[in-house]
Chain A
Amino acid sequence: MDVSYAAVGEALVVAPVGRVDEASWEEFGRHLASGIEQAEQQSLPTLVIDLSSVDYMSSRGLRALTMAKQEGIGAGVSIRLAAPNDVMREILAISRYDRLFAVDPTAPGNGA
Chain B
Amino acid sequence: MSEPTIVRFWGTRGILPVAATAQSVRDKIANALVVARGQGIASYEDAIRFIDSELDFAAAATYGGATSCVEVECGDEAFYICDMGSGLQELGREALRLVRRDRAGKFNFFLSHLHWDHIMGFPHFAPAFDDDCEIVIHACHADAEDALRRQQEEMSYPVPFDSWAARIRFVTMTPGEEIVVDGLRVTAMLQDHPHASYGYRFVDPAGRRIVYSTDSEHRIDNMEREDAFTFFFRDADLVICDTMYSLAATNSTREDWGHSSNLVAIDLCRQAGAKRLALFHHDPLLNDEEIQRMHEDSLRYEKLTRAGAPLEVLCAYDGLEVAL
Q: Is A80 in contact with chain B by the CB < 8 A criterion?
A: no
The answer to whether A90 touches B300, judged by C-beta atoms less than 8 angstroms apart, is yes
The interface-forming segment of B19-27, B163-171, B242-250 is B242-250
- A97 vs B252: C-alpha distance in the bound complex, in angstroms? 10
CB distance from B310 to the nearest CB of A (A): 15
**What are some 30 contacts across the A-B interface (CB < 8 A)?**
A21-B307, A25-B223, A56-B304, A56-B305, A58-B263, A58-B267, A59-B247, A59-B261, A59-B264, A59-B266, A59-B267, A60-B226, A60-B267, A62-B263, A66-B220, A67-B220, A87-B304, A91-B304, A94-B263, A94-B297, A94-B300, A94-B301, A95-B246, A95-B261, A95-B301, A96-B246, A96-B248, A97-B248, A100-B248, A100-B252
- A59 vs B219: C-alpha distance in the bound complex, in angstroms? 11
Chain A residues contacting B297 (CB-CB under 8 Å) are: 93-94
Q: Mark B293-314, 1 if CB is under 8 A from A, else 0.
A: 0000110110011010000000
- A94 vs B226: C-alpha distance in the bound complex, in angstroms? 21
Considering only CB atoms and an 8 Å cut-off, how many residues of chain A contact the other chain? 22
Q: Mark B252-265, 1 if CB is under 8 A from A, else 0.
A: 10000000010110
Instruction: Please judge, given known A-B contacts A59-B247, A100-B248, A100-B252, whether A90 and B304 are in contact too, CB under 8 Å.
Output: yes
Give the 6 A-B residue pairs with the shortest CB-CB distance, closest first. A96-B248, A96-B246, A95-B247, A59-B263, A63-B220, A94-B297
Which B residues from 223 to 248 make CB contacts under 8 A with A?
223, 226, 246-248
- A100 vs B247: C-alpha distance in the bound complex, in angstroms? 10
Considering only CB atoms and an 8 Å cut-off, how many residues of chain B contact the other chain? 23
Q: What does DSSP make chain A's interface, helix, strand, loop or mixed? A: helix
Q: Is A27 in contact with chain B by the CB < 8 A criterion?
A: no
- A58 vs B307: C-alpha distance in the bound complex, in angstroms? 11
CB distance from B115 to the nearest CB of A (A): 25
Q: Is A10 in contact with chain B by the CB < 8 A criterion?
A: no
CB distance from B265 to the nearest CB of A (A): 9
The answer to whether A95 touches B263, judged by C-beta atoms less than 8 angstroms apart, is yes
- A100 vs B264: C-alpha distance in the bound complex, in angstroms? 17
Which A residues from 57 to 112 make CB contacts under 8 A with B?
58-60, 62-64, 66-67, 87, 90-91, 93-97, 99-100
CB distance from B251 to the nearest CB of A (A): 5
Q: Is B271 in contact with chain A by the CB < 8 A criterion?
A: yes
CB distance from B46 to the nearest CB of A (A): 37
Q: Is B102 in contact with chain A by the CB < 8 A criterion?
A: no
The answer to whether B247 touches A62, judged by C-beta atoms less than 8 angstroms apart, is yes
Chain A residues contacting B221 (CB-CB under 8 Å) are: 67
The answer to whether A95 touches B267, judged by C-beta atoms less than 8 angstroms apart, is no
- A100 vs B271: C-alpha distance in the bound complex, in angstroms? 26
